[in-house]
């Protein structure tokens, strides 16, 4: 029976935060975007409890996508190019990305919510090689809620979706300097294949290819 793409973790405390103005880019679609909804979450606003929920992006969530992606690209080793080269691209592209990923069987984005507020994301896609390798990418969770295991929910949801597309292996490029990300993916069962590539937006930095195999 097909498993639901919605996961819940009840009764969790967290502190919300505010996104700063930034830029957008992603692994699949090279599109920088402006930021309009700076108040998705409010810094320093304590909540009594929290429910973590993961849902597939909806066609009308372009503004949410660009907010989360912009926040993720403030991380030192996030994939993407330098922001100053991207600021002039039409922001409407975010709406096109959301609309495409809401229904595509090749690529999608899942969003993490805390008490209904967007607080994380992950991308899942099949590449254009003959093997149609499956990848997770763009994984990001707000610092204030990382202890709530939202990253685990996002990765598991993306893996379920990719399995539904026929994937038996799932790959992820991870910055070699990002030891926290490496430990997280290893904890999730990914192993380093020993394949390396440069990170375009960080001169001299490298990323490694990891894989997770169903049934391994």
pLDDT confidence bin for 125, thresholds 50/70/90: very high
What is the percentage of the chain residues whose pLDDT exceeds 90? 53
Q: Is 143 contained in some domain?
A: yes
Sign of the torsion angle spanned by Cα atoms 105, 118, 99, 72: negative
Query: Is 145 strand, coil or helix?
Result: helix
Q: Which helix (H) or strand (E) holds 194?
A: strand 191-198
> What tokens appear for 159 in the block?
């893996």
**Which DSSP string do the residues of 13-28 spell out, in sequence order?**
-EE---PPS-----SS
Tell me if 158 sits within 8 A of 112, measured CB to CB: no
Q: Give pLDDT, residue 113.
A: 96
Q: Give pLDDT, residue 172.
A: 97
pLDDT at 163 over 80: yes
Q: Is 3 contained in some domain?
A: no
Q: Is 197 contained in some domain?
A: yes
The predicted-structure confidence for 3-42, as pLDDT tens digits, reads as follows 444 444 333 333 333 332 222 223 322 222 222 222 333 3
Burial 59-70 (b: 16+ CB within 10 A, else e): eebbbbbbbbbb
Q: Give pLDDT, residue 147.
A: 86
Give the domain range for residue 73: 8-213
Domain containing residue 75: CATH number: 3.40.630.30
The total of other beta-carbon atoms located within 10 Å of residue 78's CB is: 20
The total of other beta-carbon atoms located within 10 Å of residue 17's CB is: 19
Q: Is 2 contained in some domain?
A: no
pLDDT at 171 over 80: yes
pLDDT: which is higher, 212 or 91: 212
Q: Is 170 contained in some domain?
A: yes
Q: Is 176 contained in some domain?
A: yes
Q: Give pLDDT, residue 107.
A: 97
Q: How many domains, the chain?
A: 1
Q: Is 202 contained in some domain?
A: yes
Q: Is 150 contained in some domain?
A: yes
pLDDT confidence bin for 93, thresholds 50/70/90: confident
pLDDT at 78 over 70: no
């Amino acid at each position: 029976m097909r498993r639901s793409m919605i996961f819940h973790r009840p009764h969790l405390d967290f502190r919300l935060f505010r996104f700063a103005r930034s830029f957008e880019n992603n692994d699949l679609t090279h599109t920088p975007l402006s930021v309009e909804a700076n108040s998705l979450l409010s810094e320093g606003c304590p909540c009594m409890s929290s429910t973590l929920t993961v849902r597939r992006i909806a066609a009308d969530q372009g503004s949410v996508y660009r907010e989360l992606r912009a926040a993720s690209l403030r991380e030192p080793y996030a994939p993407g190019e330098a922001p100053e080269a991207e600021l002039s691209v039409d922001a409407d592209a975010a709406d096109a990305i959301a609309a495409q990923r809401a229904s595509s069987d090749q690529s999608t984005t899942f969003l993490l919510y805390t008490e209904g507020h967007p607080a994380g994301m992950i991308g899942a896609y099949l590449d254009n090689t003959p093997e149609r390798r499956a990848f997770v990418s763009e994984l990001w969770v707000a610092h204030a809620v990382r202890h709530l295991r939202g990253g685990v929910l996002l990765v598991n949801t993306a893996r379920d979706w990719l399995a539904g597309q026929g994937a038996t292996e799932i790959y992820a490029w991870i910055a070699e300097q990002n030891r926290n990300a490496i430990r997280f993916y290893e904890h999730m069962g990914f192993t380093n294949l020993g394949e390396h590539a440069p990170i375009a937006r960080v001169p001299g930095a490298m990323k490694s290819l990891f894989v997770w195999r169903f049934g391994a």
